[in-house]
Amino acid sequence: MPLIIKLLAQRIALGLILLFLVSGLIFAGTIILPGDVAQSILGQSATPEALANLRAELGLNEPALQRYLSWLGGLVQGDLGTALTSGRDIGESISQRLSNTLFLAFWAAIVAVPLAIFLGLLAVRFRERWPDKAISGVTLASISIPEFLIGYVLMFFFGVKLGWFYPTATAFRPDAALFDKLESIALPVATLTLVVLAHMMRMTRAAILNVMQSAYIETAELKGLNGLQVIVRHALPNAIAPIVNVVMLNLAYLVVGVVVIEVVFVYPGMGQYLVDSVSKRDVPVVQACGIIFAAVYIGMNMIADIVSILSNPRLRHPK
């Protein structure tokens, strides 16, 4: 078997094992959470008998291992279970939320990734000169400010004072026309972009600068290529692996880490759903959100690993 296929198979198998281990962790974590779903459904004035009946009905008295196995069995078949509080199928309610979150994350990525890489290239081209310092300064400042604060600041100036955009995402309707949807998420996308930009841009800069020390960069310079040609043609292809790694980490963050932004902008995504369910002690929903977030995270990192392997010419074209 060619080495490259073996390496790729190893990465994918590792990802699956990791996901399995994480499922155990999520289940254990939600079990040791304080609070009781029966209590939160019935309220403070419930009688002990009513609580006991509801617990039995919800299956909360079964042993933990048995509950874990039946949950895992459901997961493998694509069944995320039923929400305890509403009694509705989690898969159904989550799918709309998930697609909303992915929509937001997708457009944030479309803006942030090319911008970060472009700024990184620009910073290398003008390294140690004022454009480099300006880019570094602005992106560092934006990463240092907490994201909810950036969100509120943008909301205040561009939503309230200037009135250019909707201050919140409450106008968002999943079935609206694309342009209207984009208009309603402009500020959350801008906030997310500012949050992930610095990390990706600085990593791009560092990875390319590292490659710029190589002898083949000197060869390219001695061919009379200009600065940007040298960077884009000769440095970038050899810096792909570290750049993809940090891009994927940030994409995963865009999906997983939007909880705060969704709450700030009242956006109907997974993050809001998760926060609501935690406060209602609706454990199956929390578990389902957890496993989906974990799958996204592991999946993105797996893709990063696969791209790193594929970007190595020695593995792609063996002797």
Partner 1 sequence: MSDPQLKVRDLKIGATVYPPGEKPHDIEIVHGVSFDLEKGKVLGLIGESGAGKSTIGLAAMAYGRGGVKITGGEVWINGRDVLQSGTGDIRKLRGAEVTYVSQSAAASFNPAKKILDQVVEAAVEQKKFSRKEAEARARDLFDKLGLPNPETIGDRYPHQVSGGQLQRCMTALALCPEPDLVVFDEPTTALDVTTQIDVLMAIKAAIRETGVAALYITHDLAVVAQVSDDIMVLRHGNMVEYGSVDQIINAPQEDYTQALVSVRSIEHAEKESAGDPVLSVRNITARYKGTQFDVLHNVNVDLYPGQTLAVVGESGSGKSTLARVITGLLPPREGEIEFAGRTLSPDLAGRSREDLRELQMIYQMADVAMNPRQTVGTIIGRPLEFYFNMSGKEKRKRIIELLDEIELGEDFMDRYPAELSGGQKQRVCIARALAAKPKMIICDEVTSALDPLVADGILKLLLNLQKIEDVAFLFITHDLATVRAISDTIAVMYQGKVQRYGSKTQVLSPPFDDYTDLLLSSVPEMRLGWLEEVISNRKMESAGN
Site residues (vs partner 1, CB under 8 A)? 214-216, 218-226, 229, 233-234, 237-238, 311, 313-314, 317, 319
Nearest approach, Cβ of 222 to partner 1 (angstroms)?
Answer: 5
Closest to partner 1 by CB, 183 vs 221, is: 221
* Nearer Cβ to partner 1 (47/226): 226
| Smallest separation, CB 304 to partner 1 (Å) | 18
Kindly state the smallest distance separating residue 27's Cβ from partner 1, in Å: 39
Nearer to partner 1, 10 or 214 (CB): 214
d(CA 21, CA 311): 29
Pick the closer one to partner 1 by CB: 87 or 319. Answer: 319
> From the CB of 177, what's the least distance to partner 1, in Å?
43
Q: By C-beta, is 196 or 304 nearer to partner 1?
A: 304
Rank residues 211 and 259 by Cβ distance to partner 1 and give the closer one.
211
CB of 230 to partner 1, least distance (A): 10
DSSP the chain: --HHHHHHHHHHHHHHHHHHHHHHHHHHHHHSSSS-HHHHHH-TT--HHHHHHHHHHHTTTS-HHHHHHHHHHHHHTT---B-TTT--BHHHHHHHHHHHHHHHHHHHHHHHHHHHHHHHHHHHHTTTSHHHHHHHHHHHHHHHS-HHHHHHHHIIIIIIIS--S-SSGGG--TTS-HHHHHHHTHHHHHHHHHHHHHHHHHHHHHHHHHHTTSHHHHHHHHTT--HHHIIIIIIGGGSHHHHHHHHHHHHHHHHHTTHHHHHHTT--SHHHHHHHHHHTT-HHHHHHHHHHHHHHHHHHHHHHHHHHHHT-HHHHS--
DSSP string covering 79-92? ---B-TTT--BHHH
Q: How far is the CB of 217 from partner 1 (least distance, A)?
A: 8
Closest contact distance (angstroms) between CB of 220 and partner 1 is 7
Token pair 């600041």 is at which residue?
A: 153
Nearer to partner 1, 133 or 223 (CB): 223
